[in-house]
Amino acid sequence: MTDVHVPAQDDDYDPFEAFDRAQGAEVVSDPYSGFAELRARCPVHEGSAGDLMGVENAITLDMLDDGPTYTVFTYDGVEQVLRDHETFSSRGYEKSMGLVMGHTILEMDEPEHGRYRRLIQQAFTRREMERWEHEFVRPTVDACIDAFADRGRADLVKELTFGFPNQVIAQAMALPEADRPQFYRWAVEITNITAEPERGFAASVAVGEYIGRLVAERRDERGDDLISLLAHAELDGQRLTDEEIFAFCRLLLPAGSETTYRSSSNLLYGLLTNPDQLDALRRDRSLMPQAIEEGLRWEPPLTGIARTATRDATVDGVTIPAGASVAVCLGAANHDPAHYDEPERFDIFRTRTNHLAFASGPHMCLGMHLARMETAVMLERVLDRLPNLRLDPDADVAIMGLTFRAPRALPVLFG
């Protein structure tokens, strides 16, 4: 491994297990009934979703400001907040995620956000995504399936969805293979900084030092990897600074890997618990895009994000004062009965599949096309290679979590 500072490790410490515990994954199986109850009483409430629902140790979506927190539960209200970037700023993230990630796209407002996004997008063009699909995604998914295809049973979370998005990004960054397990461990520890700040800050320093060496090397010797593309991206004479590249790479693994693991696992759960829809998709692959969108709507990997009110504003008839943290509940918006018929039902034949799983407005997820492509490839290969796929009837499986949602395991039988 490149000679960098490595934080002390405990051999029996599992950072992802610690992360899941911090999200209340073991105690919340169905947040949507609580969201619906709160939305029916009032579209916007003062307080965080976790506090309003009485969930202990839930991750909060406030911006760590002194002002109050308001949570928006309707589709139209959430979209209003996300589209009005002048009234509802992303700057508050610098007081939470920014402390450990550095200055990332998460906390940027216009015009800085637009300039930075246009530079970053040069590394995520359609051409690049096609190359990723054929060089990284398909071989990685097939390698994962190879390990259990002859066994007749597997845990699709632990053996497929949990690992492959991280492996794809590590390959796209051209990280040495021996470094990848440590790099992913750092990424999870950074994500879990709220629960374990000492580990999170140590991991952030380590990643910055590690990526710094790679950026320096690839400014001199350009390759076709993601770090090289970022190091040489240019727009109107402007280029990304080293610190901007470090911050983006700190963000990329938890944002690009962990959310894809959750969304693809949730979609598999929806299909496996609705075998008629799984069979329909197996027979007719043209249903793949709408199946992916319904999975994202029905169980988004992240149920909320936050903004800060820059001035007094009214959302769904409720006045929100300047300085307040505004948590937008994406999960509740995606289950708003004013926008969807029978929103609690998973239905890949649903005619209206617009959703807010990737947010909306200027900060709509930069990696959404990558996430969709990875999920489509994974599901195609699963359907192609695992005949008669079904949940293990002896397994007790559920999607868990309040803010971050996913099944802890997906034990399946096939063949």
Which residue ranges form the domains of the chain, and what is each CATH number?
A: 15-19+28-384+393-413 (1.10.630.10)
**Is the omega angle on the peptide bond into residue 362 within 30 degrees of 0, that is, cis?**
no
Q: What is the pLDDT of residues 204-257, one digit of tens each?
A: 889 888 999 999 999 989 999 999 999 998 888 888 888 888 888 888 877 777
- Neighbouring C-beta atoms of residue 1, cutoff 10 Å: 12
Which pLDDT belongs to residue 64?
Answer: 52
Mean pLDDT within 385-391: 97
Q: Which of 66-80, 138-152, 168-182 has the lowest mean pLDDT?
A: 168-182
Residue 345 has pLDDT above 50, yes or no: yes
**Residue-wise pLDDT tens digits, 40-89:** 999 999 999 999 998 876 665 555 556 899 999 999 999 999 999 999 99
Mean pLDDT, to the nearest integer, of 318-341?
96
Assign 20 a pLDDT band (cuts: 50, 70, 90).
Answer: low
The answer to whether residues 311 and 87 touch, using CB atoms and an 8 Å cutoff, is: yes
Which pLDDT value is given to residue 10? Answer: 52
Supply the mean pLDDT for the chain.
89
Residue 146 clears pLDDT 50, i.e. is over it: yes
- What is the structure's pLDDT at 359? 95
User: In the structure, what pLDDT confidence band is assigned to residue 24 with cuts at 50, 70 and 90?
Assistant: low
pTM over 0.75: yes
Q: How confident is the model at residue 19 (pLDDT cuts 50, 70, 90)?
A: low
Strands of the sheet with 304-309, listed across from one edge: 44-46, 69-72, 325-329, 304-309, 88-89
Mean pLDDT on 109-134: 91
**Residue 332 confidence (pLDDT) above 60:** yes
Residue 124 has pLDDT above 50, yes or no: yes
- Mean pLDDT, residues 171-180: 90
Say yes or no to pLDDT of 1 above 70. no
pLDDT score of 101: 78
